[in-house]
Amino acid sequence: MAGTIAAVSALGMTAVLGGCGITGGSGDVTLKLVAADYGDSAANSSKKYWDKLAEEYEADHPDVRIDVSVYSWNDVDRKVREMVAAGDPPDMAQIGAYADYAAKNQLYKADDLLSIPVQADFVGQLASAGQVKGVQYGMPFAASTRVLFYNKTLFAKAGITPPESWDDLAEDAEALKAEGVKYPYALPLGPEEAQAETLQWMLSGGGGYTDSVDGYGIDSPENIDTFSWLKNDLVGKGLVGPVAPGELNRADAFAAFAKGQVGMLNGHPSLMKIAESKGVKYGMVPMPGKGGPSKSTLGVADWMMAFRANGHRDQVGDFLDFVYSEKNVLAFSREYDLLPVTSSASGTMAASEEDRHLRPFLEELLTSELYPVGKTSWADVSAQVKQQIGKAVAAGGSPSGVLGHLQAAAGRAESAE
């Protein structure tokens, strides 16, 4: 849901609480936290979650005050940038990216803050994605994965079963097209969130954004094969609907699915509520791969980080240990249909009937691959992908040419780090 869950991004709205610095006597400390809003109304604003958490923590720590400002995803990253530029960073920020601040030596290392049990409890892939050159600065706060959603009613009408491989998906799309389905497979490669759909398909073909030594590998043979197949076997055969993939945004694809106009598309947990609210009967299966179910899927995480400028390391670390308790991680994940970032909370969720609707996504988390968010160049590369990748599958487009162009741009961005 953007590399953010919001852009689940995406994984907002706007609500703001005030902020101030040190208060009271020498033993009293106010910790400033800027956080993103995962709610879609005042009723479920993240402000309520943080208010409750702060109240509980302060009750046991009378010498510490937690002062939280909550902003929509449209504003929160910019707000933090402005605070840092003005020389007044918050103690903690829960936002979409950490690498720029880590590269400028502005953040505490996670192991300078968290107790060993808490740091060791992070899901492995998420902890690794929070590292820059082997050191963890980004602490995962919320996670999501993607699965293939399909419309059960349309599939029954076409007499088909959910796909396991690319060939299955193309055959199902042909059958759906024959039944007059508007979007047999919705392929959103538009500028809203093309980097997500792109990575999902790259992984299904055995590729990805990076190579085995963590350099960019956008124009790898695997990725070129994947986009050549998309261009020739899906887009070229009219199986993706009336809107060119490069002009189709994720939000529009989700809305079309909720109207019963889409046979299949990749989705994250929020699509469940969107579909259910419109009465669409849907199923979910792992992303089809080149020769069977994909061995890896897209994972997305949002991040907590702690700035060094104000000191308060011990107080920040103690508060974050509380934030990452199993109870609090589960409460946040359940409120917003997200995946826990800790192994303990993930285990509880996997065993809970209350959370059974999230199991397909939870099962994908352990084999997920995240964007290369530890690279400060990723923001530029992601922006280039959003603008260019749709051309790779367009009529007259060249997958190898477009991916080669993106690889060259990525190399320039990385050399500038």
**What average pLDDT does the segment 14-32 reach?**
53
What is the pLDDT, as a whole number, of residue 416? 78
Per-residue pLDDT tens digits for 250-276 = 999 999 999 999 999 999 998 998 999
Percentage of the chain exceeding pLDDT 90: 84
Domains and CATH numbers, the chain: 29-145+300-370 (3.40.190.10), 147-286+377-415 (3.40.190.10)
What is the pLDDT, as a whole number, of residue 23? 36
Instruction: Using pLDDT thresholds of 50, 70 and 90, give the confidence band for residue 417.
Output: low
Q: How many CA atoms lie within 13 A of 197 on its CB side?
A: 28
Would you give the DSSP letter of residue 339? B
Instruction: Using pLDDT thresholds of 50, 70 and 90, give the confidence band for residue 284.
Output: very high
CA distance 285 to 278: 21
Per-residue pLDDT tens digits for 195-239 = 999 999 999 999 999 987 779 999 999 999 999 999 999 999 999
CA distance 370 to 140: 11
For 24-28, 118-122, 170-174, 199-203, which range has the lowest pLDDT when averaged over its residues? 24-28
Percentage of the chain exceeding pLDDT 70: 93
Residues sharing a CB contact under 8 Å with residue 97, sequence separation 6 or more, in sequence order:
3, 4, 77, 303, 373, 378, 379
- Integer angstrom CA distances of residue 397 from 227, 235, 386, 391, 400: 10, 11, 16, 6, 9
**What average pLDDT does the segment 395-400 reach?**
95
What is the pLDDT, as a whole number, of residue 27? 53
Number of H helices, E strands in the chain: 17, 12
What's the predicted TM-score (pTM) here?
0.86
370 pLDDT above the threshold of 90: yes
CA distance 253 to 185: 10
Q: What is the mean pLDDT of the chain?
A: 91
**Do residues 284 and 149 lie in contact, with contact meaning Cβ atoms separated by under 8 Å?**
yes
Instruction: Using pLDDT thresholds of 50, 70 and 90, give the confidence band for residue 5.
Output: low
Per-residue pLDDT tens digits for 47-82 = 999 999 999 999 999 999 999 999 998 899 999 999
What is the pLDDT, as a whole number, of residue 1? 40
181 pLDDT above the threshold of 50: yes
**In the 3-class helix/strand/coil scheme, how is 183-249 assigned residue by residue?**
EEECCCCCCCCHHHHHHHHHHHCCCCCECCCCCECCCCHHHHHHHHHHHHHHHCCCCCCCCCHHHCC
Q: Which amino acid is at 145?
A: T
